[in-house]
Chain A
Amino acid sequence: MDVGLTHYLIISAILFSLGIYGVVTRRNAIMVLMGIELILNSANINFIAFSRYGGMQLDGQAIAVFVIILAAAEAAIALAIVLNIYQRFNTVNVDDVSKLKE
């Protein structure tokens, strides 16, 4: 069986859904961040698949490189913030970090 555009799109849709599912259900801040990484990478798969099979130029591949770098930057900031939260609250459970009024 030939692997084509559709297969990649299905994989990326599954990854995206898993990412959203992870963000919504996980209470541990680190796990939420992992869900976010899944979302970003699902978009990357889309970009590269479209670029490879859609008969388009290299735009998609270039975007994917940028996204990888940004994901790293964002993860660095997010982990620093989570570390700070751990020092203040002694927990990384996002539900327990709610001093501010609902």
Chain B
Amino acid sequence: MLEQIVHSVKLLQPETALAVTFCVLLVLDLVVRRKSNLAAWLALLGLVVTAFFVLQQASSGQNSIFFNMLAVDSFSVFFKFVILASSFLIILFSLQSDELNSGTRRLGEYYSLIIALTLGMFLMTGASNLLMMYLSIELTSISSYILAGYTKEAEDSSEASLKYVIYGAVSSGMMLYGISMLYGLTGAVDIYGINRALTEGDINLMALMIASILMVAGFGYKISAVPFHFWTPDVYEGAPITITAFLSVASKAAGFAMMMRFFKVSFLDPTVGNLAMGAWASFQGFEWNQLLAAISVLTMTLGNLVAIWQNNLKRLLAYSSIAHAGYMLMGVVVLSNEGLAAVLIYFVVYLFMNLGAFYTVMIVANKTGSEDIEAYKGLGYRTPLIGVAMTIFLLSLTGIPPTAGFVGKLYLFAALINGKWFWLVVIGALNSVVSLYYYVRILRNMFLKTPERSAEPIQFSFAHVTILLVLLIPTILLGVYFGPLVEYAQASLVMFGIQ
């Protein structure tokens, strides 16, 4: 027992580093009374240290620590990198955000909460115990409720946090009820025990179905899938842009990681599936992937159709991120390693293009104070660099070659075709066409409309250009040179407990 704990503590280094950073930042905020950016730089330092520990974990093989509480395996390490990269970029964004840095507000607490949020998402990627899953979801949620309302003197932001906390608490409450049913049905609290109980005993399928639907409510809320998406547009519109961008990428990634691990490990039928071929099967009579397929279709269709009518860019990107969650869910539906690899690839691509789009919106909002599509009139002539960058991000979000978004979609659709889900491919492709319409609407405003007389070019500094390039180069590069990414994603599919 002692041996197991010592072994576990060693493998918990990244989380420990984050927890220490969080405490240091909290104390620092109490001690340093004047406004400074010290907290941001310390948070970045903490993330770098964490990245170093995650790198060490990458070579430690597949482990389950703290008596099956958390799994430390290639799969969780992959998502930890995605989350770390987005936290790092979000802190850099925050340093430049006028919305956050205006007035006398001190941001020490803000950065410490971002670190707490990152910690929660780290735990979500590895959670292999029902209690751990619930706790990590709550840690993530509670931090993000506060962050969504961080600019609390703004009405938008306050309203966003109220809606977030109500929807979030109800969904996680429903998930908890589902967890309690699952515990009663199987008598186990870790996903390996659940799998064992399902393989051996005869379980009431009806009750199992209800429990799973309740669990999906929790996951669906985290990844903002229809019909648990109601909070998304309001929260994304009201929250500070940096937080919106963070929630749309990192929190979604963590939700997907947890959902994929839960479904794959607990409902895998080892006797039926052809694991060597990378395809697997779920239990007879329990077709949870049909449920996910329905959710996926609803999610992308609703996201894309409603996005057409939006004039506020943050709200438009909120609906677009709902649609992207729908695309990614298709990869989970296939029940094959190919599908999961496609989701992993998509997340890396999505990280760069979505953060890029939000960053551009932030630069424009800093200057014009508006997120309305009208503010983008003639932007392509006023400030060509920003115009061109936004164009590339939007084309990539649509999935047009030779951008990274195309590669993401290509692998998703290929996995679906190999899994013989032709109708889903058709719906996915049709949805991509619909999405082209609203992305191009922004492009039209930027390039085909003349700027108003009073409009000035947007000034930007060297730091702005650097961050823009950091996001822009991968968005283009991954579109033409994606071999290493694909290989890494395919190698990262190993979850603890599945040979």
Residues of A within 8 A of B (CB): 9, 12, 16, 19-20, 23, 29, 32-33, 35-36, 39-40, 42-44, 46-47, 49-50, 54-56, 59-60, 62-63, 66-67, 70, 73-74, 77-78, 81-82, 84-85, 88-89, 94, 97-101
Contacts of B181 in A (CB 8 A): 46
In the assembled complex, 8 residue pairs joining A and B whose CB atoms fall closer than 8 Å, in A order, are A46-B183, A47-B183, A70-B138, A74-B138, A77-B165, A82-B162, A84-B149, A94-B166
Contacts of B162 in A (CB 8 A): 29, 81-82, 85, 94, 97
CB distance from B138 to the nearest CB of A (A): 5
* Contact status of A99 and B159, CB under 8 A, knowing A46-B184, A50-B184: yes
Contacts of A40 in B (CB 8 A): 173, 176
> Considering the complex, which residues of chain B in the window 324-358 have a beta carbon less than 8 Å from any beta carbon of chain A?
none
The answer on a CB contact under 8 Å between B183 and A100 is no
Contacts of B138 in A (CB 8 A): 70, 73-74
* Contact status of A78 and B183, CB under 8 A, knowing A67-B176, A73-B142, A89-B155: no
Q: A40-B176, A74-B138 are in contact. List 19 more A-B contacts (CB 8 A).
A: A20-B170, A20-B174, A39-B174, A46-B181, A47-B183, A49-B184, A50-B180, A50-B184, A54-B187, A59-B183, A62-B131, A63-B130, A77-B165, A81-B162, A88-B155, A89-B159, A94-B166, A97-B162, A99-B156
CB distance from B240 to the nearest CB of A (A): 14
B146 at the interface (CB under 8 A from A): yes
A96-B490 Cα distance, complex, nearest whole Å: 49
Q: Identify the closest chain A residue to B149 (Cβ).
A: A81
B158 at the interface (CB under 8 A from A): yes
The answer on a CB contact under 8 Å between A43 and B142 is no
Residues of B within 8 A of A (CB): 130-131, 134-135, 138, 142, 145-146, 149, 152-153, 155-156, 158-162, 165-166, 169-170, 173-174, 176-177, 179-181, 183-184, 187, 189, 233-234, 237-238, 312, 315
The answer on a CB contact under 8 Å between A70 and B135 is yes
The answer on a CB contact under 8 Å between A39 and B173 is yes
Grouping DSSP codes into helix (H, G, I), strand (E, B) and loop, the A interface class, with mixed when no group exceeds half, is helix
Contacts of A99 in B (CB 8 A): 155-156, 159
The answer on a CB contact under 8 Å between A101 and B177 is no
Minimum-distance CB pairs A-B, first 5: A39-B173, A46-B180, A50-B184, A43-B176, A43-B180
The answer on a CB contact under 8 Å between B179 and A43 is yes
A35-B50 Cα distance, complex, nearest whole Å: 39
The answer on a CB contact under 8 Å between B180 and A100 is no
* Contact status of A74 and B169, CB under 8 A, knowing A84-B158, A99-B159: yes
Contacts of A60 in B (CB 8 A): 180, 183
The answer on a CB contact under 8 Å between B149 and A47 is no
The answer on a CB contact under 8 Å between A66 and B131 is yes
A1-B315 Cα distance, complex, nearest whole Å: 58
The answer on a CB contact under 8 Å between A84 and B152 is yes
The answer on a CB contact under 8 Å between A39 and B177 is yes
Contacts of B237 in A (CB 8 A): 100-101
Most A-side CB within 10 Å, residue of B155, B177, B179, B189: B177
CB distance from B438 to the nearest CB of A (A): 16
